[in-house]
Amino acid sequence: MPVLQGWGMGDYFDHYEAYARAGVDLRKAQRVGVGSICRRQGSIRISMILSELKAEGLKLHGFGLKVKGFELARECLASADSMAWSVHERKEHREKRLWDPSLPKTGRQNEIEAALEWLEYVLEPAMTRGAQYPELRAA
């Protein structure tokens, strides 16, 4: 998948134009990855950049999104990936093992069920989310 990298709006559009000069029409790509967003995904600035790129007719893929990133960018993305659920499960299990060393060494971080629970949580509208993962609200 082609990926657009940048920091500001101009950077992403410069990269978009570089693809065009090389004869690559990103609007025809199945997906276009957007890099450099995972550490600043909670910002309205990233949401605006994604919105502008989508307006160009791109089918965007967001890398490394967490709950807040999904909330702000959901309408702009055709797809996304995340390891937030796995990190959450690993951290939660590590804390439980401090109190109960008899627990297995690994938790649910590799279980599809845990990933699907997290996905369901993320896809719920923010105002109707239950308390299943309250610690993810800050993620």
Domain count, the chain: 2
Pair 75, 96 in one domain? no
The token pair at 105 is: 């060494």
List the pLDDT tens digit at each of the 139 positions of the chain. Answer: 999 999 889 999 999 999 999 999 999 999 999 988 877 766 788 888 999 999 999 999 988 777 777 778 888 989 887 776 677 777 887 787 777 778 777 777 777 887 788 778 777 765 555 444 455 444 4
pTM metric for this prediction: 0.70
Asked if 50 and 69 touch (Cβ cutoff 8 Å), the reply is: no
Pair 54, 98 in one domain? no
Pair 47, 89 in one domain? no
Q: Look up residue 137 and give its DSSP letter.
A: G
82: left (phi over 0), alpha (psi -120 to 50) or beta: beta
Could you tell me how far CA 60 lies from the centroid of its own chain?
Answer: 11
Residues contacting 16, CB < 8 A, separation 6+: 4, 26, 53, 56
Pair 47, 31 in one domain? yes
Range of the domain at 138: 83-139
User: How far apart (Å, rounded) are the C-alpha atoms in residues 107 and 115?
Assistant: 12
